[in-house]
Structure 1
């Protein structure tokens, strides 16, 4: 049964843009709710120790690393967003790649929006984090972080299975290698069959 044809560039771009906007909207909306309803730096148990809301403003990266160089994370997020947009416009025709890159782009734009628009200023804004799952990791994170981490794993899996941006897959060389290692007796039999009979 033949597979589905690859997407047109416009369709792939539409999938990426739609998913990115949805993730960006969800991220910013939940951050707005957190700012409006959660006390600052005070734990609010939701499901015991399984899920806790803990509102913080993070100037750094994961685990608050690099707090004094916020602008570097702004540049990094912007660079990732540009690369994804470029891939969407020029190379992506795979549905799986379009979904993964769209969700990843949404997460990147969510945190980039904080860096650009939130206090203390342009390009050095602090990211709003409020989700804490101490049973899984000590970090406090947000919706954008969830999509960034999971989609980076998704991208790694797509690379490992050999799925290209255009939807094609890497062809394994097992059959070719099997032919190259054919038994010498088979070659001799083929040669004998090709010789003319002696009279």
Structure 2
């Protein structure tokens, strides 16, 4: 299940990035809901909010490490919701990792394609949204694990 989610998130991310690259011009906003929601193509060398623009190699290494570790640990993760959250995070990391490995300016230092702009918030992509939502799902799963386990035991009894 985790592998399917990881690959689906990364695939959707890459397909939508390809569409946006063929449709949008860098730096030219395309309003969808006024100035509040728009498409705005940019190439991000850093992390969220373009922080760490000089540390692209570090983000590439972290993303690759995370994806590999999740792939190794996936069979040991028993909680369904923790697995979903981690798979969403890993899928987003893989989507952005593909950019860092195969986009300009070159292998390991590629810039991530971002295109969703909401209000005055950062410009992001589907991979970033999946990472954020995956963290929320994972944290909620951790916080509710004991209660869900207790409910399962009561149902089984």
State which structure, 1 or 2, has the greater radius of gyration over its C-alpha atoms: 1
Instruction: Indicate the structure whose relative CO is greater, using CA pairs within 8 Å and at least 6 residues apart.
Output: 2
Query: Is 1:156 the counterpart of 2:142 in the alignment?
Result: no
When you count helix as a share of all residues, which structure comes out higher?
2
Partner Cα separation in structure 2 for residue 66 and residue 105 of structure 1 = 20
Q: TM-score, normalised by structure 2?
A: 0.89
The answer to whether the Cα contact below 8 Å between 2:47 and 2:59 also exists between their aligned partners in 1 is yes
Q: Cα distance, 1:151 vs. partner? A: 0.7
Aligned partner of 1:63 among 37, 46, 49: 49
The match for 2:8 is 22
Q: Secondary structure at the match of 1:161?
A: helix
The Cα RMSD (Å) is: 1.5
Aligned partner of 2:123 among 140, 161, 171: 140
Aligned residues: 149
The match for 1:47 is 33
Unaligned runs of 5+ in 2: 151-157
For residues 22-64 of structure 1, what are the alpha-carbon distances to aligned partners after superposition, in whole Å with 9 as ceiling and x for unaligned? Answer: 1111100110011101011111101212310000000011111
Unaligned runs of 5+ in 1: 1-14, 170-199
Structure 1 runs of 4+ with >3 Å offset:
none
When you count strand as a share of all residues, which structure comes out higher?
2
Q: TM-score, normalised by structure 1?
A: 0.71
The match for 1:126 is 111
The match for 1:182 is none
